[in-house]
Amino acid sequence: MQANMSLAREDVFANLPVPTALRKMILPAISSQLIVLIYNMADTFFVGKTNNPYMVAGTSLILPVFNITLCLAGLAGIGGGSLISRLLGQEQEAEARRVSAFSLYLGLTIAALFAAGIAFFMEPVLALLGAGANTYGYARQYALCVIVIGGIPTVLSNVLANLIRSIGRSREASAGIILGGLLNIALDPLFMFVLLPDGREVLGAGLATCISNCIAFLFFAVVLARMGRGSVVTFSPKGGLPRRDSILAVFGVGIPSAITSFLFDLDYVIIDKLMVSYNDLALAAVGIVLKVERFPLNVGIGICQGMMPLVAYNYSAGNERRMEDTIRLARRLGLIVAVVSIALYELFAVQFAHLFISDTQTVALASEFLRIRVLATPLMFLSFFTVYVFQAFGRGRISLFLGVTRWLVFNIPMLLLLNAVIGMYGIVWSQVTADTLTVILSFYVYRKYRPAVEGRKETDGKG
């Protein structure tokens, strides 16, 4: 069985035509990203059916903190997964197995610590996020379910998805995420409108999310059991710790990935804080927009997730032509998706807003915000695409530089500046202006610092 798995992996990574290999890797990844988005949006959708903007605002406030759990998963999953693909390109399967176990236990540890921290410091965290008298109770209910109780299975599910994808099994990696998402969509109305009394809709949405993530983790546990003891992805610590340089490589890519994702969420927190200073309806409107705009962005992330193992493997194996072909095709696909999304959102902004709430004022604000924010979609894709490419190369310092510069030098200062100068709509326009600068910087860094393809020589992840 192990020999067959190795042959299948070699086929995807090294032998299939690039369009075919990329299709096999990215289609499941895109599917799982869209399902994740839909089930995250499902909570807002069903809560919006109460026509209570405070419930919508309360759940929107927790979204950035919930996404921090995904940052923690990225630390272990992207850091470990990128290294595993490179190790397989160097034919170091035993070391890849040790890296897998290390990454899983790393994810478990940091998820447990984060959940405990939120539980103990719930009140100041919610105050920092901008929860007021009308939204505090709803935000607390949601946070207890999806972060305090559901944080560990959420993180482990995402770590496992990244690790399984890193060995070329994108379909299995995505199936567990899709299962959890579909369950959440089905359980939301059951808990919100059938099992729990009126006024507890937010609690019902949180319970549905928590249970669905637990079941997704159980699915991945079954997948690992069926893959057998010889699988590269394993919970077994019997192989011992990976080499010191491998541990450094996991953190060298994983920490920049987590920091970059955290800064993305910090940007959302600042948007919420600035919007709430105007009124709760503006907060609810921007909360809807920040979810709707994620459709093309999540497709782009799926493209990057499917691309990264192929690029990492062929970079380490020394196959420069195949690596470059993969990068070019993936970039082209992402830009096509971005352009199509601009057309659709400009035409149907009101209809998209109506999917979440029927309040006339909130819909009007959300549709105006969406038409502006969507213009940044191709710029946003190019920005995180370059980061993913450097993660595939194992160049953690460069990916960290790009991520930190994007958010701390361009995006967040632009938010504050345009809010001060223009007001509420300056918050919305900030993404386009900041990411224009980010893309210019990304092109320069890629041309200047793209590493030469030598093959069979692992980097330490430091860039």
What pLDDT does residue 457 have? 45
- Per-residue pLDDT averaged across 362-382, rounded? 89
What pLDDT does residue 47 have? 78
Residue 195 has pLDDT above 90, yes or no: no
Residue 78 has pLDDT above 60, yes or no: yes
- Per-residue pLDDT averaged across 301-318, rounded? 88
What pLDDT does residue 102 have? 92
Query: Distance (Å, rounded) from C-alpha 343 to C-alpha 229?
Result: 49
75 within a domain of the structure (yes/no): yes
With bands split at pLDDT 50, 70 and 90, how would you rate the model's confidence at 324?
Answer: very high
Residue 386 has pLDDT above 90, yes or no: yes
Which pTM value belongs to this model? 0.80
455 within a domain of the structure (yes/no): no
Query: Distance (Å, rounded) from C-alpha 346 to C-alpha 296?
Result: 14
311 Cβ contact partners less than 8 Å away, ≥ 6 residues apart: 323, 326, 327, 389, 392, 393
**% helix / strand / coil in the chain, to the nearest 5?**
85, 0, 15
pLDDT tens digit sequence for 96-112: 899 998 999 999 998 99
| 159 or 273, greater pLDDT | 159
pLDDT tens digit sequence for 263-281: 887 887 788 778 877 877 7
Query: Total structural domains in the chain?
Result: 1
Residue 132 has pLDDT above 80, yes or no: no
Q: Pull the structure tokens for residue 72.
A: 């923690």
- Per-residue pLDDT averaged across 416-441, rounded? 91
Average pLDDT, the chain: 84
| 462 or 67, greater pLDDT | 67
What pLDDT does residue 433 have? 92
What pLDDT does residue 219 have? 93
Residue 134 has pLDDT above 90, yes or no: no
With bands split at pLDDT 50, 70 and 90, how would you rate the model's confidence at 10?
Answer: low
User: What is the CB neighbour count within 10 angstroms for residue 207?
Assistant: 25
Tell me what percent of the residues of the chain surpass a pLDDT of 90.
20
Least confident interval from 43-57, 166-180, 318-332: 43-57
Query: Distance (Å, rounded) from C-alpha 111 to C-alpha 127?
Result: 22
What pLDDT does residue 303 have? 93
Instruction: Note down the domain range covering 441.
Output: 2-449
User: What is the CB neighbour count within 10 angstroms for residue 195?
Assistant: 13
456 within a domain of the structure (yes/no): no
> What single-letter DSSP state applies at residue 309?
H
- Return the exposure string of 158-185: e unless at least 16 CB atoms fall within 10 Å of the residue's CB, then b: bbbbbbbbbbbbbbbbbbbbbbbbbbbb
Query: Distance (Å, rounded) from C-alpha 185 to C-alpha 40?
Result: 9
What pLDDT does residue 7 have? 45
- Per-residue pLDDT averaged across 113-131, rounded? 84
457 within a domain of the structure (yes/no): no
What pLDDT does residue 463 have? 42
> Alpha carbon of 412 to those of 22, 292, 316, 436: distances in Å?
34, 21, 36, 14
Name the amino acid, one letter, at 207: L
What pLDDT does residue 462 have? 42
Tell me what percent of the residues of the chain surpass a pLDDT of 70.
94
319 within a domain of the structure (yes/no): yes
pLDDT tens digit sequence for 441-461: 999 999 888 887 755 444 434
What pLDDT does residue 166 have? 86
What pLDDT does residue 459 have? 41
* φ/ψ (deg, to 5) at 395: -95, 80
Task: Give the closest residue to 163 by CA, choosing from 107, 216, 213, 111.
Answer: 107
Residue 2 has pLDDT above 70, yes or no: no
Name the amino acid, one letter, at 107: G
312 within a domain of the structure (yes/no): yes
With bands split at pLDDT 50, 70 and 90, how would you rate the model's confidence at 254?
Answer: confident
- Return the exposure string of 351-366: e unless at least 16 CB atoms fall within 10 Å of the residue's CB, then b: ebbbebbebeebbebb
Find out whether 455 and 318 touch, Cβ atoms under 8 Å: yes
Least confident interval from 67-76, 211-220, 315-324: 67-76
Residue 231 has pLDDT above 50, yes or no: yes
